[in-house]
Amino acid sequence: MTAHESRIATYDAFWPFYLGEHALPATRAWHFVGTGLVLLALAAGLVTGNWRYFAAAPVCGYLFAWISHFFVEHNRPATFTYPLWSLISDFRMFFLFVAGRLGAELRRHGVSR
Protein backbone atom coordinates (compact mmCIF):
# COMPACT_ATOMS: atom_id res chain seq x y z
CA MET A 1 0.00 0.00 0.00
CA THR A 2 1.39 3.41 -0.92
CA ALA A 3 0.66 6.82 0.56
CA HIS A 4 -1.69 7.46 -2.35
CA GLU A 5 -3.90 4.47 -1.59
CA SER A 6 -6.75 4.68 0.89
CA ARG A 7 -6.51 3.23 4.37
CA ILE A 8 -7.65 -0.32 4.92
CA ALA A 9 -11.09 -0.16 6.50
CA THR A 10 -11.55 -3.61 8.04
CA TYR A 11 -9.40 -6.19 9.77
CA ASP A 12 -10.55 -8.81 7.24
CA ALA A 13 -8.98 -6.67 4.51
CA PHE A 14 -5.90 -5.93 6.63
CA TRP A 15 -4.93 -9.56 7.31
CA PRO A 16 -4.01 -10.45 3.70
CA PHE A 17 -2.11 -7.15 3.44
CA TYR A 18 -0.25 -8.01 6.66
CA LEU A 19 0.70 -11.45 5.36
CA GLY A 20 1.96 -9.89 2.14
CA GLU A 21 4.15 -7.53 4.15
CA HIS A 22 5.66 -10.64 5.77
CA ALA A 23 6.20 -12.61 2.57
CA LEU A 24 9.82 -13.61 3.17
CA PRO A 25 10.40 -16.58 5.46
CA ALA A 26 13.26 -14.73 7.17
CA THR A 27 10.91 -11.88 8.07
CA ARG A 28 8.48 -14.30 9.62
CA ALA A 29 11.35 -16.01 11.49
CA TRP A 30 12.47 -12.70 13.02
CA HIS A 31 8.86 -12.03 14.04
CA PHE A 32 8.55 -15.50 15.53
CA VAL A 33 11.63 -14.94 17.71
CA GLY A 34 10.44 -11.49 18.81
CA THR A 35 6.90 -12.63 19.60
CA GLY A 36 8.22 -15.68 21.42
CA LEU A 37 10.43 -13.44 23.55
CA VAL A 38 7.43 -11.19 24.26
CA LEU A 39 5.47 -14.17 25.56
CA LEU A 40 8.43 -15.36 27.65
CA ALA A 41 8.95 -11.88 29.10
CA LEU A 42 5.27 -11.57 30.00
CA ALA A 43 5.31 -15.01 31.62
CA ALA A 44 8.48 -14.15 33.55
CA GLY A 45 6.89 -10.91 34.72
CA LEU A 46 3.82 -12.75 35.96
CA VAL A 47 5.85 -15.42 37.74
CA THR A 48 8.42 -13.10 39.34
CA GLY A 49 6.40 -9.92 39.70
CA ASN A 50 9.39 -8.04 38.29
CA TRP A 51 8.12 -5.09 36.23
CA ARG A 52 11.30 -5.08 34.11
CA TYR A 53 10.08 -8.15 32.24
CA PHE A 54 6.89 -6.32 31.32
CA ALA A 55 8.93 -3.34 30.14
CA ALA A 56 11.16 -5.63 28.07
CA ALA A 57 8.24 -7.31 26.28
CA PRO A 58 7.42 -4.57 23.74
CA VAL A 59 11.11 -3.87 23.19
CA CYS A 60 11.67 -7.51 22.24
CA GLY A 61 8.68 -7.61 19.94
CA TYR A 62 9.29 -4.38 18.11
CA LEU A 63 13.08 -4.73 17.90
CA PHE A 64 12.94 -8.06 16.10
CA ALA A 65 10.00 -7.05 13.92
CA TRP A 66 11.51 -3.76 12.83
CA ILE A 67 14.89 -5.35 12.10
CA SER A 68 13.10 -7.80 9.81
CA HIS A 69 11.22 -5.08 7.96
CA PHE A 70 14.13 -2.68 7.52
CA PHE A 71 16.88 -5.20 6.73
CA VAL A 72 15.12 -8.30 5.36
CA GLU A 73 11.75 -7.43 3.83
CA HIS A 74 12.73 -3.81 3.01
CA ASN A 75 9.29 -2.38 3.71
CA ARG A 76 7.65 -0.13 6.28
CA PRO A 77 6.27 -1.93 9.34
CA ALA A 78 2.48 -2.07 9.27
CA THR A 79 2.47 -1.10 12.94
CA PHE A 80 3.29 2.49 11.95
CA THR A 81 -0.10 2.83 10.24
CA TYR A 82 -2.20 0.09 11.87
CA PRO A 83 -0.78 -0.43 15.38
CA LEU A 84 -3.60 -2.48 16.93
CA TRP A 85 -4.31 -4.64 13.88
CA SER A 86 -0.60 -5.22 13.45
CA LEU A 87 -0.22 -6.35 17.07
CA ILE A 88 -3.18 -8.72 16.74
CA SER A 89 -1.82 -10.06 13.47
CA ASP A 90 1.63 -10.65 14.93
CA PHE A 91 0.17 -12.97 17.55
CA ARG A 92 -2.17 -14.54 14.99
CA MET A 93 0.77 -15.28 12.68
CA PHE A 94 2.79 -16.66 15.62
CA PHE A 95 0.06 -19.04 16.77
CA LEU A 96 -0.76 -20.14 13.21
CA PHE A 97 2.92 -21.06 12.84
CA VAL A 98 2.95 -22.94 16.17
CA ALA A 99 -0.18 -24.83 15.10
CA GLY A 100 1.38 -25.73 11.74
CA ARG A 101 -1.28 -23.79 9.83
CA LEU A 102 0.63 -20.71 8.66
CA GLY A 103 1.70 -22.22 5.34
CA ALA A 104 -1.89 -22.95 4.36
CA GLU A 105 -2.95 -19.44 5.41
CA LEU A 106 -0.18 -17.89 3.31
CA ARG A 107 -1.19 -19.96 0.28
CA ARG A 108 -4.86 -19.11 0.80
CA HIS A 109 -3.98 -15.41 0.52
CA GLY A 110 -1.54 -15.83 -2.37
CA VAL A 111 1.65 -15.23 -0.37
CA SER A 112 4.10 -17.75 -1.75
CA ARG A 113 7.64 -16.48 -1.20
8-46 per-position pLDDT tens digit: 999 999 999 999 999 999 999 999 999 999 999 999 999
pTM (two decimals): 0.90
64-104 per-position pLDDT tens digit: 999 999 999 999 999 999 999 999 999 999 999 999 999 99
Is pLDDT at 1 greater than 80 in this prediction?
no
Burial of 52 (0-12, 13-18, 19+ CB in 10 A): exposed
- Domains of the chain, by residue range, sit at 9-107
Distance CA 85, CA 12 (A): 10
| pLDDT of res. 31 | 97
Is pLDDT at 51 greater than 80 in this prediction?
yes
